[in-house]
Amino acid sequence: MNQIIIHVDMDAFYASVEIRDNPELRGKPLIIGSLPQERGVVATCSYEARKYGVHSAMNIKEAYRLCPMGIFMHPNFEKYRAVSDQLHTIWNAYAAASEYIALDEAYLDVTETAGNWERACEFARRIKQRALDELGLTCSVGVAYSKTAAKTASEEKKPDGYFEIPDVETFVNLIVDRDVRVLYTVGEKTAEKLNRMGIKTVRDIQEHSYEIIRSFGKQGQWMTQLAAGIDDRKVSPYKPEDAKSISREITFQEDVEDNSFIADVLLLLAISVERRAARVNLYGEGVTLKVTFSDMKNITRSRLIPSSRSAIVIYEEAVRLLEQVPQKAVRLVGVGIYHLTGEYGRQLRFDDFMPEVKQQQDEKTRQALERLGQRYGLDFAGNLDKVFHGETLYRTIEYMRRHRFVQ
């Protein structure tokens, strides 16, 4: 039996969750991301805001120019992750394998669980209905013979859509006269290059396959296969250890030239990284530091370490890396761990035999955090869990930045 794949894409996910929880926002142009007076971009927005030309990844000031009457909110990622976990429970009830693309999007392989096309379509309708009944959220769902066709199907009737593409012929007939950007492998730059070659539609790709393969190599070969409806990729379940790194970064609302303050920020970011790594039971064998200067130049520094996810280890290594960075105005700073390994994928370390080493590391972290709190007049001990929620961490660091010269 051929593959049967369902693609689920929640409609304006962050915005929809906020509207669900506050019905007064319904029907209004809601923009989730930074606030108009801040640096940053749009994470997502309601469909009412999209009518004004606002879209994801747009500079927040441009979004405000287009939609000054919009309601701007910071994202609440902890809330969205919790809702995403509920969605995963629904999706996994029907799929033999689930590939999560983001908190709100997934490919589901229902080839074996459904057994036939009709039952797969029934699964897809149930998924839509359960998301609405149990979580109060709408989604767009596509059922198809391949991943590419399933994603195309889910986008066909957005929002709150449902569409089926049962075979190659149906897929090709649907897209053949559409812009080349309909193929997921074709981004903006690739489309521009194709257009310069006189190739503007999928039909053009089909008719000029030789030239495309000659110009684009493997990407061109893949492009021509998709234009012919060929996509044999399997649904690959996500595993935390497949991630390349775990990191956390912060953009300052005003540039900072004080490396001692940046080092203080690194402690909070390191603790956040430790918490994320512990949540998925992973360790890192390297620490990386990312810095974006006021002129938007990015640099990264990294170094290998014995396998660890200890905040104090990450922090101390990050500070050493910071000492290698030119001291000038900084816009963004981030820290992370890479070369990730699981509990059973790493070599035994000294502290596996000496548990007190971990206790000492935790105590050093606690002491460093206590000193940080005293320096800025903050009580981390009583509010630690709240501090590391996305928006609260951002507000805490901004408070520290504004009060760093207050003794």
Last residue of a domain, one of 166, 190, 219: 166
154, 269: one domain: no
Q: How many domains, in total, are found in the chain?
A: 3
Does residue 171 sit within a domain?
no
Please give the Cα distance from 302 to 304 (Å, whole number): 7
Please give the Cα distance from 246 to 134 (Å, whole number): 32
Does residue 4 sit within a domain?
yes
Q: What angle do CA 371, 374, 376 make, to 5 degrees?
A: 110
CATH of the domain at 35: 3.30.70.270
Q: Is 254 a catalytic residue?
A: no
Are the C-beta atoms of residues 16 and 29 closer than 8 Å to each other?
Answer: no
209, 271: one domain: no
Q: Which amino acid is at 348?
A: L
CATH of the domain at 343: 3.30.1490.100
What was the pLDDT predicted at 370?
A: 87
For the chain, residues with pLDDT lower than 50 are 344-346, 348, 350, 353, 407
Task: Find the radius of gyration of the CA atoms of the chain.
Answer: 24
89, 136: one domain: yes
215, 363: one domain: no
Domain assignment of residue 111, given as a range? 1-166
Alpha helix stretches (DSSP H) within 180-334: 188-196, 202-207, 209-216, 218-227, 259-279, 311-322
CATH of the domain at 207: 1.10.150.20
What was the pLDDT predicted at 1?
A: 61
Does residue 234 sit within a domain?
no
Element (H, E) at 247: strand 245-256
Rounded to an integer, what is the distance from CA 400 to the centroid of its chain?
Answer: 27
161, 245: one domain: no
222, 354: one domain: no
Q: In a 10 Å sphere around its CB, with 0-12 CB exposed, 13-18 middle and 19+ buried, how is residue 225 labelled? A: middle
Strand-pairing partners, residue 299, are: 291
Q: Is 123 helix (H, G, I), strand (E, B) or coil?
A: helix
295, 355: one domain: yes
259, 369: one domain: yes
What was the pLDDT predicted at 138?
A: 97
Last residue of a domain, one of 184, 201, 227: 227
Catalytic residue among 18, 105, 164, 316: 105
181, 246: one domain: no
What was the pLDDT predicted at 256?
A: 92
Last residue of a domain, one of 227, 252, 267: 227
272, 365: one domain: yes
215, 117: one domain: no
244, 390: one domain: yes
Are the C-beta atoms of residues 53 and 76 closer than 8 Å to each other?
Answer: no
